[in-house]
Structure 1
Amino acid sequence: MDVISLGTIIDAAAAVLQLNILFWILIGVLIGFVFGAAPGLTATTGVAIATPLTFGASFEVAMALLLGIYSAGYFAGSIPAILINTPGAPGNAATALDGYRLARMGKADLAISLAVVASVIGGVFSIVVLMFAAPVLSNFALKFTSVEYFSLGLFGLICVSAVSGGSLAKGITGAAIGMFLGTIGIDEVGGTMRFTFGMPELQGGVPLIPTLIAFFAVAEMLLQASSHLDASLLPKQQIHRILRLPGLMISHSWLLLKSSLIGTFIGILPGTGPTIAAWIAYGQSGRRKAEEAEGEEIAAVRGVIAAESANNAVTGGALVPLLTLGIPGDTVTAVLIGALLIQGIDPGPFFIIEHGDLFAQILIILLIAAVMTLVLGLGARRILPKILTIPARILLPVIGVLCVAGGFAIHSIPFEVGIIAVLGIAGYILARFGFPMAPIVIGLVLGPIIEINLRNSLVANDMDPTVFITRPISAVLLIAIVVTLAWSARRSLR
């Protein structure tokens, strides 16, 4: 299919660049900020709640509201990740590692600025890809079978285990703990019950958001409390001038491009989403090498840029299979299918051909939402770090209340608050022994994906394990895993 014509783009711009449409984009972005930044709430939740409100609205108004939430919500989860080490959404968990580290150095302003700019660049990059290469890339994504999904999931897990800090052995052990947590619940392949101990609340598995809150927020809160942190020890936050950001981004331009490519490509793969994209990009950021050569701050900068650019590049990438195949790329685009059906539009192979003008409107709305996210994010960056000036004896209990509220708000189940308490204490004990939290969480996310696709691959190929090395894409990913492990082991020995 050819790229949409200039005339179609001009007509779409005329339809979108109206005061009422811009107003709804702004409302969507603001809602996205709220849902993204509140632990326990996500962009998916925001879009799901707002979708029924679009009954009777025009296509432009509906997409302005929903895509505004979609675009801003993915970024906004980085705000609590940076300030209080509590990812607003699973896709921002990687950002918490280095974003919070910068905040503890007194550079939360820098971390938020980097997250905003990297997010917008990743989002805009994916929009360009969506415009020019949607059909080609979606056809490539169709080549992924359960064999490739297994290798991709294992690659992401190894990347995080190798670069998340501490020893490689502890990283892999943490990933194994996370994968074990991922086996709890009903076996999706065999249908048997595993490790639920008769608790019906665990039949659906260990809930992800409470687990994130437990391992990242509660464990950190307990560590801070056990260290008797005093208000006088809290760092004074430094102001980072916006004029320095372009130079910083240019110096990390290759990292931005690579991470945006990773995020866009992962977004194109149906059922993956920003969590996997952010972790793989974080693992490929070269932050460990940068820490050895240039110091902890530069390593943290690279980590934030990689995670956030990949996280937001998923937005455009996930729309590729939705608008060309009718298959959602992530949870938000799954909800957007319903929004399009409300408008009487059936997404699929003929959508762009038959509705090129609507496709162009989607591109322009995403672009405007990205600009609004940039302006609002940079505008609020100096206000948000003031949270860190609150004395620890006040801040830590407030974070505790937010953790409980966020965990309960998801499904209004007290059991999930208990999950936060139990796993938070477990995370604290593991952290005291030097185990990194990231591999545990990503093991929980990727464990079921790895297991299900491994079993499906073997069943579909008469239990022949050589299928993983005879299929080219899978073989390349497995080679990358071996190289990553060898590099990490060599670094540990040195």
Structure 2
Amino acid sequence: MDLISFSAIGAALGAIADPMILLWILIGVVVGLIFGAAPGLTATAGVAIATPLTFGASFEVAMALLLGIYCGGYFAGSIPAILINTPGAPGNAATALDGYRMARRGNADLAVSLSVVSSFIGGFVSILVLMLAAPNLANFALEFTSVEYFALGTFGLVCVAAVSGGSLLKGMIAAALGMLLGCSGIDPVGGMTRLTFGDPNLLGGVPLMPALIAFFAVSEMLVQAARRDTLATLPVQRRVAAREVAGHYLRNKWLTVRSAFIGTGIGILPGTGPTIAAWIAYGESARKKAPQAQEEGDPRGVIAAETANNAVTGGALIPLLTLGIPGDTVTAVLIGALLIQGIDPGPFFIAEKSDLFVQILLILLFANICILVIGLGTRRWLPAILKLPPRILIPVIGVLCATGAFAINNTPFEVGLMAVLGLAGYVLIRFGFPMAPVVLGLVLGPMVETNLRNALTANDMDATVFVTRPIAALLLTAAVFTIFWTWRRHRRA
């Protein structure tokens, strides 16, 4: 912070206070909400499409539009996740677990409100961290090698597998099935083809978005159909007052803070992103869940997942602006946008362009305020979606699912894959297997495998490196403790 002068802050405030810049931030947020809420259209796609439009625009206009899309897109996927169990983006999948259960029990208003406020808190905390500690945290992230990434992936898998269902064994089996799906395609280390069944469409692996839609939305539709249940049987959606929402944060203030720092910390690590952050934070929140909360939906799950999800936005900008290394897929696109503006992000950016750095901070702050205002302003009528007759709502959900899957590569293969995986997910649910570990196994499986093999290769096949490096040893110890703690809890139950 000592690199930022008061003159730089004043110049940045003068530039961002322009009503036209504020309008561009609002436009960016609205576009991001659209891209984030539509399955298959992510914040990354929105920023990538909008980046060429910034040719010839000023730095303030370009960043206002793109960072608005960035923040809005990360939040918006929680809305369909809560209302129809269809995450708009992979980072919102954890929110669907408790959010959708709450909606089905008449608490959609509360779930959406918690999602909105948590997104704002996560974004705000990450902005503070970006402002106060960016250079030091970026240097810390560089200490992560394949050893630490393997330990981080293992910890995330164990957390979710251990707490997402009633059976520890079934959670572990579900995670293993997800990792097996993640092995499909070309071996990232050896280059061999695996589990493609001769289909060239699987050479790049099982695409994540169709799998997410299948395991959460399609399988749930099949479950409800088998029960002869419909969304019309939902209880009346009750409205919540601001006092009730605030009460949840007062009771869970440490969970909120912890989730915000988890999201920011994960965002700092290049190649991770909101999906891993949300799942790890969700796993931490689920440690104290009562069995009844597993069935009815726990507000703490929504708070943790959405706080961490949106905290990634500021965290991922830390390595981008201080090292020139993108923290996630969106910041990889933002590198191109910065280069269009003639700015080369790196170690000297904050020192030499402190006024532009402050502008980025202010744009992020205003974007999160827009999300808060729009989200709370629309939360009353969003649950009305659940009142639509099943003959209308279920086909609409089906079309959204198919469109989201098709939009990945514009081929029917993803739609067929979605249908097959949705049926497989339905079978797993019928036998009591949770879906969350399957999805996280698919997400983290390639990361765990690749970094395990790279770590062993780089250290002459010496496995002791996983316990001699402090960060890796701490994460693996936490994973073992989580398994032991879950086993003891189930044994006492």
Q: When the two structures are superposed, what TM-score results if normalisation uses the length of structure 2?
A: 0.98
Equivalence for 2:453 = 455
Distance in 1, matches of 2:215 and 2:232, equals 26
Q: In 2 relative to 1, CA 278–230 (structure 1 residues): closer, same or farther, beyond 3 Å?
A: closer
Equivalence for 2:175 = 175
Matches within 5 A, 1:227-242: 227-230=227-230, 233-242=233-242
Distance in 2, matches of 1:234 and 1:484, equals 35
Point out the more displaced range, 124-133 or 225-234. 225-234
Equivalence for 2:58 = 58
Equivalence for 1:89 = 89
From 311, 314, 320, the equivalent of 1:313 is 311
CA displacement 1:195-230 (0-9 Å, x = unmatched):
112211100000000000000000001111111114
Distance in 2, matches of 1:230 and 1:410, equals 29
Equivalence for 1:251 = 251
Tell me how far 1:233 sits from its aligned partner.
1.7
Tell me how far 1:383 sits from its aligned partner.
1.2
Q: In 2 relative to 1, CA 3–239 (structure 1 residues): closer, same or farther, beyond 3 Å?
A: farther
Distance in 2, matches of 1:81 and 1:33, equals 13
Equivalence for 1:20 = 20
Equivalence for 1:201 = 201
CA displacement 1:47-72 (0-9 Å, x = unmatched):
01100110010000000000000011
Equivalence for 2:426 = 428
C-alpha contact 1:116 1:373 (8 A) present in aligned 2: yes
Tell me how far 1:232 sits from its aligned partner.
5.0
Amino acid in structure 2 at the alignment position of 1:302: R
Aligned residues, how many? 492
Q: In 2 relative to 1, CA 4–297 (structure 1 residues): closer, same or farther, beyond 3 Å?
A: farther
CA displacement 1:284-330 (0-9 Å, x = unmatched):
11x352425x8569961100000000000000000000000000000
Q: In 2 relative to 1, CA 295–217 (structure 1 residues): closer, same or farther, beyond 3 Å?
A: closer
Q: In 2 relative to 1, CA 162–3 (structure 1 residues): closer, same or farther, beyond 3 Å?
A: farther
Q: In 2 relative to 1, CA 230–443 (structure 1 residues): closer, same or farther, beyond 3 Å?
A: closer
Tell me how far 1:32 sits from its aligned partner.
0.6
Equivalence for 2:367 = 369
Matches within 5 A, 1:405-416: 405-416=403-414
CA displacement 1:110-162 (0-9 Å, x = unmatched):
00000000010000000000000001111111110000000000000000001
Matched residue of 1:56: which SS? coil
C-alpha contact 1:102 1:300 (8 A) present in aligned 2: yes
Matched residue of 2:68: which SS? helix
Tell me how far 1:249 sits from its aligned partner.
1.3
Distance in 2, matches of 1:188 and 1:486, equals 32
C-alpha contact 1:158 1:484 (8 A) present in aligned 2: yes
- Structure 1 unaligned residues grouped into runs of 5+: none
Amino acid in structure 2 at the alignment position of 1:413: T
Is residue 45 of structure 1 aligned with residue 53 of structure 2?
Answer: no
C-alpha contact 1:36 1:77 (8 A) present in aligned 2: yes
Matched residue of 1:371: which SS? helix
Equivalence for 1:154 = 154
Matched residue of 1:284: which SS? helix
Q: In 2 relative to 1, CA 201–290 (structure 1 residues): closer, same or farther, beyond 3 Å?
A: closer
C-alpha contact 2:125 2:260 (8 A) present in aligned 1: yes
Equivalence for 1:304 = 302
Point out the more displaced range, 393-402 or 9-18. 393-402
Equivalence for 1:138 = 138
Amino acid in structure 1 at the alignment position of 2:126: S
Distance in 2, matches of 1:73 and 1:90, equals 11
Equivalence for 2:74 = 74
Distance in 2, matches of 1:215 and 1:154, equals 22
Equivalence for 1:289 = 288
Identical aligned pairs, as a percentage?
A: 69
Distance in 2, matches of 1:68 and 1:147, equals 35
C-alpha contact 1:48 1:335 (8 A) present in aligned 2: yes
Is residue 474 of structure 1 aligned with residue 472 of structure 2?
Answer: yes
Q: In 2 relative to 1, CA 429–471 (structure 1 residues): closer, same or farther, beyond 3 Å?
A: same
Equivalence for 2:415 = 417
C-alpha contact 1:25 1:365 (8 A) present in aligned 2: yes
Tell me how far 1:3 sits from its aligned partner.
4.5
Q: In 2 relative to 1, CA 231–305 (structure 1 residues): closer, same or farther, beyond 3 Å?
A: closer
Equivalence for 2:402 = 404
Equivalence for 2:123 = 123
Matched residue of 1:2: which SS? coil
CA displacement 1:78-126 (0-9 Å, x = unmatched):
0000000010000000000000011011010000000000010000000
Distance in 2, matches of 1:363 and 1:319, equals 10
CA displacement 1:218-265 (0-9 Å, x = unmatched):
000111111111465222101111243223212211011000010000
Amino acid in structure 2 at the alignment position of 1:29: V
From 341, 344, 354, the equivalent of 1:343 is 341
Q: In 2 relative to 1, CA 186–432 (structure 1 residues): closer, same or farther, beyond 3 Å?
A: same
Amino acid in structure 1 at the alignment position of 2:43: A
Equivalence for 1:111 = 111
Distance in 2, matches of 1:376 and 1:297, equals 30
Tell me how far 1:28 sits from its aligned partner.
0.2
Point out the more displaced range, 244-253 or 163-172. 244-253
Amino acid in structure 2 at the alignment position of 1:182: G
Distance in 1, matches of 2:222 and 2:431, equals 14
Tell me how far 1:393 sits from its aligned partner.
3.3
Point out the more displaced range, 1-10 or 59-68. 1-10
Distance in 1, matches of 2:367 and 2:448, equals 34
Distance in 2, matches of 1:108 and 1:411, equals 33
Matched residue of 1:237: which SS? coil
